[in-house]
Chain A
Amino acid sequence: MLRLPPFTFRRPATLDEACALLAGEGAGEGRPVRVVAGGTDLWPNLKRRQEEAATVVSLMGITGLDGIGNGGANPGAGAHAGDRDGPTGSAAGELCIGATTTLDRVAASPVLRASYPALADAAAGISTVALRNMGTLGGNLCLNTRCTYFGQSEDWRCSIDYCMKEKGEVCWVAPSSDRCWAISASDAAPVLAALGARVRLVSCAGERAIPIAELYRDDGIEWLAKRPDEILAEVLLPAASAAGGRCRTAFRKLRRRGSIDFAALTVAAAVWTGDSGVVERASLWLGSVASSPLQARDAESSLVGRRLDPETIAEAARLCRREATPLDNADFTAQWRSRMVEVWAADALRALVRFPS
């Protein structure tokens, strides 16, 4: 079978200790220190020698880094900051999800099911039962970008002279391009972006909470704006009623099989409507079509001030398709995926109409 390369494995008991390992060890070395939670992304990537690690720091020994609750529910996540009411602490009514909360737990959480069903749906659809039992929300948000050329074994990549995401020169998806087009494969990211969530990043240098959209860069190689010494400790969801009006969310995923597969396309939609049913605010994000979650801004604007009637939905869906340009680096043909953006976006928006009040 595929074997892991040799590395030092550390399993700190506190977030402070983990941060210290990231700041200290590996400094000045060629091979980096890597953070692992469930390991469903990192271990196979290491086996395929897509990533390297001199040291792997596991977050799974840190007490309290998992869990779902209102501020203060996650002592581990907050331990480093000491006081959760500090500048980066959770705002009133914010829901906190610890980074090592398993996807299975996110999917089954009654709180999330009730208030943020799109997030629970997204988590429930990731990979398989076995991987959801291990994989974590934080891990899903930090997933390495994927590409049909990069996501292969070392020998296979050698046979195509590698690609620019590692030792090679070319992006085989777009050989005349000077950038890497590997895609953001996180299903949770577009949903959390649509919900306006923040993530708490912790390091020895301190901590900060940033809007999740700012965690990502439109670059297949440097896909995270997080510094290497920072640990994503917590996801902060705004109160379901914070934006005023009624919030409805929906998530739709396109993939080949009913299980296992990464998405070929995802659509996350959130709208806030007033009593009259008119959309006051709309948030529409597409996943797996670019190197980061993609905000469909024109489609969002087209919804505001209108009711979610069939014409409005059709127009927004058309705009979504115009804003996304999937390339030939995932399952299905790029052309067909592009066509499906409109179909899946319309489906997600229609689901908002059916949302139980």
Chain B
Amino acid sequence: MADPIRQLGAPGEAPALRPGRVVGTPFRRVDGRAKVTGRTLFADDLAFPRMAYLRLVRSTVPHARILRIDAASALAAPGVLTVLTGADLPEPFGIMPVSQDEHALCLDQVRFVGDPVAAVVATSEDAATEAARAVVVEYEPLPTIATIDEALATPHDDERIHHHGDGGNVHKKVSLRFGDLEPGFAAAALVLDDLFFYEGSTHLPLEQHAAVAVPEDEDRLTLYSSTQTPHYLHRALAQVLGLSAGRIRVIATPCGGGFGGKSDPFSHEIVAAKAALRLGRPVKVTLTREEVFYCHRGRHPVLMRLRTAFDRSGAMRAQHLRTALDGGAYGSYGVASTYYTGALQTTTYRLDAYRFDGVRVFTNKPPCGPKRGHGTPQPRFGLEIQLDKAAVELGLDPAEIRLRNLAPAATVTANWLRLGTNGLERCIDAVVTGSRFRERWGRLPHGRGLGLACGAYLCGAGLPIYWNHLPQSAVTLLLDRSGGVTVACGESEIGQGSDSVLAAVVAEVLGLPLGDVRLSVADTDLTPVDLGSYSSRVTLMVGQAAIEAAEKARELLAGAAADQLDVPAARLVFAEGRVLDAADPERSMTFTEAVWAAEARHGLIATAGSYTPPRAPGRYRGAGVGPSPTYSYTAAVIEVEVDPTTGLIDVEQVWIAHDIGRAINPVLTLGQVEGSVYMGLGEALYEEQVVRRLPRHRSGASVLRAVSMLDYKSPTFLDMPTVETYLIEEPDPAGPFGAKEVGQGPLLPIAPAVANAVYDAVGVRIDEVPVLPHKVLAALDAAKRGDPARFGPKRFPEVDYGETLIVPTPAEGGDGTAINDWRDRERRGMRGAGGTMAERSAEPRSGRR
């Protein structure tokens, strides 16, 4: 990889460095030294006096009723302190208020191999392990539902995995129509109707989940856990343990990787807390690598049918997307995931008429949930391949067809998402230029090819997981006489650099060196709520809240300093740990002196800032999924070498440009881009979380094929190609200093760019991931036989998506509601019209308070 500093900015653009300031400069992350020297204490590193160890007993059958749990010999084993079963924790929970379908330990039914059934606590990990092996669970097997087809074919009550959802084994159905599709299809120069399949994959964080529960005095409890969402975990613990949230303290420990896999409340966290309360001693649980595969919550396998009308110029005139998600055994974030497979299709390219039908089913497999890109890489894969096909059909180059379809910035899409700045055109230009795409695409020798794809992603979900009107993020600042600043925020660092962003933003506003900013984060006793590290929300939301808190503090200090220096406050500049007169820098005082002056005048200087996203213009049922303060954009070109005799694919190089708005820390930004490329290549070419099914008459098994890092084929450093990254900085007023997200968006174009490159190399379409060599050979063989040169799904199931909500688009003069939903009619009746489009567009874009 090239020197990261050299790669900063778009080609020919000098990096926007401002000497003496923090934001925009490549600074060392605040937790970097501790992490590389091993001083960081992860959850599993924690130890407390009298600490006991917990092991979960997990189901070895995919679907069954629990007849009996015999823990007698486990309880009699040496060192064993207690055994817990479902009866000890009967209260259900789940991350989404509409999907309260999990129990910390299964009550009477297990739903997948790996479902937690009992827990053994002992004085050592060895004793807990041996005793857990001695727990006997007797099951009465139930039929296993392992595929989308099987779930759709089992509508009867006695065939259901769960007794909630939208009937049978259907968890969630969505059907939405924005605008009239008929004219677009009728007048189309080209209609493409394709099937795609995106295989499931898991996050594979290096750190396995771990938690330590510590009972405190006065019936209080502290839970340390490797989690992305301490606030949601806090709520789930209160709910299941029946304790007031005020008596529970959740501390998110430094997290060795999340990627969405640690954003649900988990069985092991709740059971450890319960055991600690029962035993009155600390209880630690560290999952094995195999258990992490069972926790999952990873990428949903999604089958898609995408039908699009193009006009002669290549512009998309109408699109109908159908998705079917294999959800696994529980709801998790699945309702949101289902909406997300349709919601962001309109953010990159203009689509005036769009219909989306989605369904999520329950199957006896580890539950799927949010993984980097949450629900959007799958339809992105379909859309970007279909655009490639359309370009070929219409004789355009793949960059041109995308440029002709670009969604205009600062507009509202057909499905009522308000777009912010859009740097996609510059992104495309950067990668097309860098890779010499126009000169080389379609012209390389057989076996070598280039593929282009784009993407867009949220910079924070517009709505919280549970309904409330409170800020989504808050930051407090405490300035003390030392001149240091203590910043408190509930945000959780999961490796993405959120601690560094928080510190940098405060340092920037107050003109302090990073080292003078002290952080207190992710501790529900000591820090104000931030909803957590998910939906790429932290930089934007925490950043805005931090700016507000820091600006308030700066104002207080400036007022006091202005008097002492006898200059107008407006002329004061905070830089390099000093407060200076911009007109006469000799007139200055130290930051510490300014704190003294301000504290003398106002008392202790403590300020707060909070952030609430702007209200989204959509009002229809489902409009809550998709809105964001703004969206990031990415374009990527990938060059591959495909061996036609083996089907093996070598990724030679990746050029990727990301519209970051503004990079708070360019080095961490590059790390996030490269990490996304890495994870995207894993999904494109290697990884699949799939079950192995055995003949029913011999064993009803439906078990994960890979439950180790040996069998689960995540690429290694050796498999990583050269990545040339371009940061496109087009500051967005919605973000702190103009910054947008970078943690997830850059993953989106990778898989379709690989598939498009394979087509350019050997002329076959692989319409599913992972693109494996045998699939390439099968497509090449098909081409030789004269069959379609393609490998991919062949049919899409018949699905009853229910009544389609008809939502008039902004262009049609809609008001953001559906015309055929009684809830919307009622709302309109009650509140009068929710305002016209023009009125709502006039709302301020920044939601900072």
Contacts and interface: CB of A to CB of B under 8 A. Distances in A.
Contacts, number: 81
Contacts of B468: none
Given A260-B716, A261-B710, A343-B646, A156 B290 contact: yes
Interface string A144-159: 0000100111111011
Interface stretch (A64-72, A109-117, A251-259): A251-259
A255 to B, nearest CB: 10
A65 B799 CA distance: 67
Interface stretch (A224-232, A328-336, A348-356): A328-336
B713 A175 contact: no
A169 to B, nearest CB: 9
Contact of B699 (A1, A151, A161, A335): A161
Given A3-B129, A153-B290, A172-B694, A339 B713 contact: no
B707 A156 contact: yes
A157 to B, nearest CB: 9
Contact of B773 (A154, A262, A336): A336
Task: Report which residue of B60, B130, B704 has the largest number of chain A beta carbons within 10 angstroms of its beta carbon.
Answer: B60
Contacts of B703: 156, 159-160
Interface in A227-267: 256-262
A331 B705 contact: no
A257 B773 contact: no
Interface in B681-701: 686, 692, 694-695, 698-699, 701
B643 to A, nearest CB: 9
Contacts of A158: 60
Interface residues of A, number: 34
B819 interface: no
A256 B713 contact: yes
B707 A152 contact: yes
B23 interface: no
Given A3-B125, A160-B703, A161-B701, A257 B718 contact: yes
B126 interface: yes
Contacts of A262: 710
B718 A258 contact: yes
A229 B713 CA distance: 38
A340 interface: yes
A261 B772 CA distance: 16
A160 B290 contact: no
Contacts of A335: 774
A256 B681 CA distance: 14
Nearest to A159: B60
A248 B496 CA distance: 51
A332 B705 contact: no
A263 to B, nearest CB: 13
B705 A148 contact: yes
B79 to A, nearest CB: 13
Band of interface residues on B:
35 or more
Contacts of A153: 288, 290, 707
A133 B421 CA distance: 53
Contact of B288 (A1, A175, A336): A1
Taking chain A's interface residues, is the majority helix, strand, or loop, or is none over half, making it mixed?
loop
B113 interface: yes
B715 interface: yes
Contacts of B772: 332
A154 B288 CA distance: 13
Contacts of B125: 1, 3
B366 to A, nearest CB: 13
B242 to A, nearest CB: 31
A259 B718 contact: yes
A332 B773 contact: yes
A159 B61 contact: yes
A260 B719 contact: no
Given A160-B699, A170-B698, A343-B645, A257 B715 contact: yes
Nearest to B686: A256
B96 interface: no
Nearest to A154: B133
B711 interface: yes
Nearest to B718: A258
Given A148-B711, A332-B773, A257 B60 contact: no
Interface in B766-804: 772-774, 777
A159 B686 contact: no
Interface string B47-67: 000000000001011100000
Given A159-B701, A175-B698, A258 B716 contact: yes
A205 interface: no
Contacts of B711: 148, 151, 331
Contacts of B60: 155, 158-159
With most chain B CB atoms within 10 A of its CB, the pick from A153, A175, A336 is A336
A222 B716 CA distance: 34
Contact of A257 (B62, B290, B692, B713): B713
A22 to B, nearest CB: 27
B286 interface: yes
A258 B720 CA distance: 10
Nearest to A339: B777
A257 B719 contact: yes
A304 B631 CA distance: 67
Interface in B106-136: 113, 125-126, 129-130, 133
Contacts of B61: 159
A343 B713 CA distance: 23
Contacts of B692: 148, 160
Given A1-B125, A159-B113, 8 more contacts: A156-B290, A156-B707, A159-B62, A170-B698, A258-B716, A259-B716, A333-B774, A335-B774
15 contacts: A1-B125, A1-B288, A3-B126, A148-B692, A155-B60, A156-B290, A156-B703, A159-B60, A160-B699, A175-B698, A257-B713, A258-B716, A259-B716, A332-B772, A343-B646
Interface of A: 1-3, 5-6, 148, 151-156, 158-161, 170, 172, 175, 256-262, 331-333, 335-336, 339-340, 343
Interface of B: 58, 60-62, 113, 125-126, 129-130, 133, 208, 286, 288, 290, 645-647, 686, 692, 694-695, 698-699, 701, 703-705, 707-711, 713, 715-716, 718-719, 772-774, 777
Closest CB pairs A-B (n = 9): A258-B718, A336-B774, A159-B60, A3-B129, A160-B701, A158-B60, A161-B699, A159-B113, A259-B716
